Amino acid sequence: MVEHEGTYLIWLDFNGLGLCTQELEDLIVHKAKLWLDSGRIFGKCGRGFQRINVACPRSTLKEALERIAKVLPADTVKFAS
């Protein structure tokens, strides 16, 4: 996750997974069942990123992040304490 600077949109960095853009979008949309903003719509620098809106109830955000965590390889998921 890229640290935010006063916005309700957070960039999630999936570049370490080695997935192409389509594989990442399939993972998020079809497996995690979420609709996030694909970084590809922001140009080359956005590849490998997904943008999530955190202006929602904490329970909604928690569920979304848990869905993402479930579809990722276990050794790639890191939660801040």
8-57 pLDDT, tens digit each: 999 999 999 999 999 999 999 999 999 999 999 999 999 999 999 999 99
Helix (H) or strand (E) holding 37: strand 37-38
- Give the pLDDT of residue 81: 54
Domain-by-domain residue ranges, the chain?
9-75
User: Whole-prediction pTM value?
Assistant: 0.81
pLDDT-derived band at 1 (thresholds 50, 70, 90) equals low
CATH class belonging to 9-75: alpha beta
32 exposure class (CB count in 10 Å sphere: 0-12, 13-18, 19+): buried
What are 55-72's pLDDT values in tens digits? 999 999 999 999 999 999
pLDDT at 79 over 70: no
